[in-house]
Amino acid sequence: MILLITPSARVQECADALQQATGETAHVATTLQEAITHLRAQEYSAVVVDQSLLDAEPDAGEMALQHMGTAMPVCVNFAISGIERVVRELRAALSRRKREVLIARQGAEQALRSELTGTLTALLLSCELALQTPNLPAAAEAKIRTAYDLARQMRARIGLAGEDSTAHDVGALALQR
């Protein structure tokens, strides 16, 4: 959803153009106070706000910006910008937001993968060493093998297969006994 904040007489025409260009529902607020009410009630992907409102009411503008959450703010001067330019600005902002979300997701995945690598390697090595223990009871061996297999499955799921061949080589030897 998109929130359009402007007192412009062409606000509905602009909202219709934004909705048609993005395929998202566009809500309209003619004041910053009305916009804050919308922002408290809904999540928006973008908020298009008339720069003149922000200049005229800086405190209310700051409050509106604080309530935007993850919405991409798009400030436009409606006095000099046509609807086509507003649509271009919104598309560019949504495209930036999509790229930023993708980059953030990839960063989070990589950070998690990095954190888990050491722990999984240690778990695999510990299991492999435990399996080499002489006179290991069969029940304990079965449980250790289960833990080892689960750790290998987790490593494969997060894309770490082959990254620690030393653990794999030692594990292969231990499991062959």
Provide the pLDDT for residue 114.
86
pTM for the whole structure: 0.65
Tell me: do 69 and 118 sit in the same domain.
no
Question: Would you place residue 19 in the very low, low, confident or very high pLDDT band (cuts 50, 70, 90)?
Answer: very high
Residues 58, 129 within the same domain: no
Q: How many CB atoms lie within 10 A of CB 4?
A: 30
HEC readout, 114-157: HHHHHHHHHHHHHHHHHHCCCCCCHHHHHHHHHHHHHHHHHHHH
Question: Would residue 92 count as lying in a domain?
Answer: no
Cα separation values, 150 from 52, 110, 125, 155, 166, Å: 59, 21, 13, 9, 18
- Co-location of 68 and 22 in the same domain: yes
Residue 160 is predicted with a pLDDT of: 61
Domain span holding position 147: 108-175
Domain assignment present for residue 69? The answer is yes
Q: What is the number of structural domains in the chain? A: 2
Same domain, 8 and 75: yes
Q: Does residue 165 surpass a pLDDT of 50?
A: no
The whole-number average pLDDT for the span 68-85 is 91
Judgement on whether residues 16 and 68 belong to the same structural domain of the protein: yes
Q: What percent of the chain has pLDDT over 70?
A: 90
Distance between CA atoms of residues 74 and 156, nearest Å: 42
